[in-house]
Structure 1
Amino acid sequence: MTRSTPGLDAEIDFILSTTGAAALPPHEPGSGQSPQLLYREGTILVREEDVDTVVNALPAPSPEGYDGSPGANEDGRSQLVVFPGLVRMTLLSTDGSAPDVVRALNRRVGSRMIDLDYLMVCASHPCPASEPVPVVDGEPVPPIAAAGGAFTGRGVVVSIVDSGLAPDYAQHHWLSVGVYGDRDQMIKDDRTIEHYGGHGTFVAGTVRAIAPRATLFVEGAVSIFNGEPTLVDNGAAFSSALSAQISQALAHRPDVMVMTFATETIDQRSPLCFDVLYEKQIQHIKGLAFLAPAANDSSQTPEFPAACSWVIGVGALNATGDQRADFSNYGRWVDVYAPGEGLVNALTTGHYTYLDPPGATADFTGLAEWSGTCFSTPIVAGLIAARMSSTEESGQQAARTLLECARAQRIPGVGPVLYPDQARCHIHCDCHRHRRCHTPPGGKEKDRHRCCDECAEC
């Protein structure tokens, strides 16, 4: 499903021009429409055990197909092991376009052996729901939780796969200790903030607003494959690189992992790279909670990895917290909604040029207001981390408890919801001791959520 928004055409053109990706269907400049998906042309992803079967099923190469180049097989198709279990294979010009090859071969063999190497953009297209707006002398929204209480995230490790960290992230007191990561390559030495610059810093700051003592690792600028660009230098990365980055990030032994990239797929099924990553690694990590944004297309079409069965997909609520944000994706595949409109948190200090309206500029002094499901996601991640530090639950256990609460206070027509001060929320809690946590932002005591009504204490 496509979405038409102001500035979208410029955003898609920017992504395509800086990544060399192809669009499906082909993008027409000036259309104002988002393509279904972006992908790496001339490349497919293959299960390692299926490589020989796939090669044999593809057309035989012409005599000039093999050029003897490093990494090329005698059939002319180079193969790169992304991580154990997944191979990235180049196609020959005689094989056809990557989407046609994927559809035809999977249909012919009757199983899903191959997939596209999707270009994944921060919270899909566009990212985010808006461009950042400077905030001067303001405070974070949601506010920074007290660091001296029980629900602080102390001892919990959160790994974030995003754009890295701004060079001056430590100027913010809630990020000054216990936060580590790669440098954000979209914030230049001359303080020019390129499009998507500061995204990872804003996400990290939002987690820390909810769980101020959690340890954070922010991935973003690591070169995965020799000779290729850094992972994120334009707000987008191919799924093969992101899968490899997640695989490496697991070395931090995180309790909670947040990935802020999203994509639709050619068959509305989970990308093959994430299936293999889950089978080979993630399912064997006890207690890991994995979260991803539902994306900002105002669509019911599943976005991945948010729609994967093992991922908590997070949608966005509006600024008042009582309805779905108009940009948020929705549907049964979205597990929970949290505030995602008009949030304020750390960005960086520098000069930014907007895509919409073209040529408009702004100077940032540290804080920004921003909207998107990629920012409602770290609110839920922070709630899980904050709860873990007090209850000694694993990430998955804390997530299950919070999702139970979210379902109990669901908003009709929206779905399960959580709010920033609900780390201790449970439908069996002593509501009279912290009834405020059950009141919508700006609401009154009479507006408390239904989970209170199910508690005997209330």
Structure 2
Amino acid sequence: MAPQRFHEQFEQIQRSMPDVPLAMGPDDSAEFLYEKGVVLARDGEEARVVEDTVRQHFTTFAGLTADHVRRASPETNRSGITRIQVGDPGQGDRSGDPAVAGALRALRATEGRAGRRLVSRNHVVSIAVNACPGDEPVPAPLTQQPNPAAAECTYDPDTAVGVLVVDTGLMRDYSSYPLLAHTDGDLQVKECDDDGILQQYVGHGTFIAGLVAAVAPNTGITVRNTLNDAGAILEYEFGDKLFEAVERGGWPDILSLSAGTSNGRTDGLLGLAAFMEELRTRRTLLVAAAGNNASATPFWPAAYADLPEYADSVLSVGALRADGEFGACFSNHGPWVKAYAPGERLTSSLTGFDVPVPYVYQHSTYDACRFGFAYVCTCQSPRHTGVLSEERAAAPTGKPDQVMFEGFAHWSGTSFATPVVAGMIASHMTAHKETDPRVARTQLLASSTEYAEVRGAHVPALRPPTWSPVPVVPLSPPA
């Protein structure tokens, strides 16, 4: 069964996409979200094969009319993908979509003969977790230094490493944080709701940019607000948005991406196929978050790092807990995760420093780690009651908690381990005058002698020199 938090996030993302009916998939485990009634196919001959095969399947076995299967989009997108409607999106509930499942089954034999996948769900790509970061941000006092702290390095625009962050937009007063003085990009479209409360995910991109700048001050950071809406976007649109992000300012040295989705497969996302092929021909290194589902299921695009044809161009990053010795409870894991970095209770800039801003928690903490770990993790502490939890509760247990942000925050997730690693690669490039980010990645991993334990496996651990471990509190034994 999907945890309560996943159901809460489903509601949050559905509100951000009011015109897109969503379902959970592939079953009650709810590994991903997807658009109901629609499948994706490559344009041209493959789209025609999909339409004809699905139409025949449904008219023969499901009693639908022949014109029920049709193009849902009049034109293909930049990624060469088209949406094909295969059923009434109003049918069924959030637990699944029989029309889409039937369409996928209808194409299995055809795909086997073709030797590659022809059809896919239209997945929701979101900020990396059960559709959300590892936890919600917690205010940190302005007297506390960022963690990782700022490295001793001078910014030089002529040698600065280009880092592109594809995420939510920058807070309007982000430049009041000195480390972000050289950062550029898109502003968050709407920071607060009508009551002046920070909206969920606001500050995510600013927090990430602050981490990159702390680990590698000699970076030219650009932030794009591709994931401005609740940190989520449909797969059909995502490939196009990535093309748009990298081409607005030219392909960067490093692309830091803290979003993705599982899809129940081991061959990637159909909607990203064109972008990933283009990435292979460039010198850009994609550093991607492994996701926060505490799962070994491949999470894309991070899991492209385990496919031989993309191993040189993608680095997948998992999260270590606050002491840096073991994996964080929420971090995805498995052989497709190629490096781990601190990702629990990091400290960076959430908002600018001009005016304090209130935030109301969306999720309640749990009485115990929702992933079964035996330390006081971000699932449990610090305690708070959230809006979405209260809305789902049959009997409300208390008023949602409100806090005030005035600059710094603690936040957890592979979302944040990822820019730490992006920064370490950029710092290596500066220190060794290396101009190729893929070579720098290889050199950095080869020179690292540090390891951590994740689910019984010893894995490469990248801990920046300015990062300070935070002691972990074990759970008290039962009385």
TM-score interval (norm. to shorter): 0.7 to 0.9
Secondary structure in 1 aligned to 2:451? Answer: coil
Question: 1:126: Cα distance to partner?
Answer: 4.6
State the one-letter code of the partner of 1:22: A
Alignment of 1:337-416 (within 5 A): 337-348=340-351, 349-355=356-362, 356=364, 357-358=385-386, 359-390=400-431, 391-406=433-448, 408-412=449-453, 413-416=457-460
Question: 1:238: Cα distance to partner?
Answer: 1.1
Secondary structure in 2 aligned to 1:415? Answer: strand
Secondary structure in 2 aligned to 1:83? Answer: coil
State the one-letter code of the partner of 2:245: A
Aligned positions, number: 399
Contact 2:53 2:106 in 1 (8 A): no
Secondary structure in 2 aligned to 1:59? Answer: helix
Gaps of at least 5 residues in structure 2 are: 90-96, 365-384, 387-399, 472-479
State the one-letter code of the partner of 2:435: E
Secondary structure in 1 aligned to 2:459? Answer: coil
**Alpha-carbon distance in structure 2 between the residues aligned to 1:105 and 1:332:** 30
Gaps of at least 5 residues in structure 1 are: 28-33, 67-72, 222-230, 423-436, 444-458
Task: Give the match for residue 170 of structure 2.
Answer: 165
More moved, 97-106 vs 339-348: 97-106
Task: Give the match for residue 118 of structure 1.
Answer: 123
**Alpha-carbon distance in structure 1 between the residues aligned to 2:223 and 2:192:** 15
Question: 1:142: Cα distance to partner?
Answer: 0.5
Question: 1:184: Cα distance to partner?
Answer: 4.7
Listed one character per residue, the Cα deviations across residues 138-170 of structure 1 (whole Å, up to 9, x for unaligned) are 2211001123389x9942111111111111111
Q: Given the alignment of the two structures, is residue 302 of structure 1 paired with residue 308 of structure 2, yes or no?
A: no
Question: 1:4: Cα distance to partner?
Answer: 3.7
Alignment of 1:139-218 (within 5 A): 139-148=145-154, 154-188=159-193, 191-218=196-223
Task: Give the match for residue 69 of structure 1.
Answer: none
Task: Give the match for residue 136 of structure 2.
Answer: 131
Question: 1:335: Cα distance to partner?
Answer: 0.4
**Alpha-carbon distance in structure 2 between the residues aligned to 1:128 and 1:76:** 34
Question: 1:96: Cα distance to partner?
Answer: 5.8
Closer/same/farther in 2, CA of residues 100 and 171 from structure 1, 3 Å limit: farther
Task: Give the match for residue 78 of structure 2.
Answer: 83
More moved, 92-101 vs 137-146: 92-101
Task: Give the match for residue 321 of structure 1.
Answer: 324
Contact 1:288 1:395 in 2 (8 A): yes
Contact 1:186 1:196 in 2 (8 A): no
Secondary structure in 2 aligned to 1:380? Answer: helix
Secondary structure in 1 aligned to 2:77? Answer: strand
Contact 1:79 1:90 in 2 (8 A): no
Contact 1:154 1:215 in 2 (8 A): no
Closer/same/farther in 2, CA of residues 135 and 339 from structure 1, 3 Å limit: same
**Alpha-carbon distance in structure 2 between the residues aligned to 1:108 and 1:270:** 19
**Alpha-carbon distance in structure 2 between the residues aligned to 1:106 and 1:21:** 23
Task: Give the match for residue 48 of structure 2.
Answer: 52
**Alpha-carbon distance in structure 1 between the residues aligned to 2:72 and 2:133:** 37
Contact 2:347 2:409 in 1 (8 A): yes
Q: Given the alignment of the two structures, is residue 419 of structure 1 paired with residue 463 of structure 2, yes or no?
A: yes
Task: Give the match for residue 256 of structure 1.
Answer: 254
State the one-letter code of the partner of 1:97: A
Identity %: 30
Question: 1:414: Cα distance to partner?
Answer: 3.8
**Alpha-carbon distance in structure 2 between the residues aligned to 1:99 and 1:16:** 20
Contact 1:128 1:371 in 2 (8 A): yes
Cα-Cα RMSD: 2.9
More moved, 209-218 vs 88-97: 88-97
More moved, 153-162 vs 329-338: 153-162
Task: Give the match for residue 372 of structure 2.
Answer: none
Listed one character per residue, the Cα deviations across residues 326-365 of structure 1 (whole Å, up to 9, x for unaligned) are 1111111100000001101011142111122121111111
Query: Which TM-score applies when normalising by structure 1?
Result: 0.79
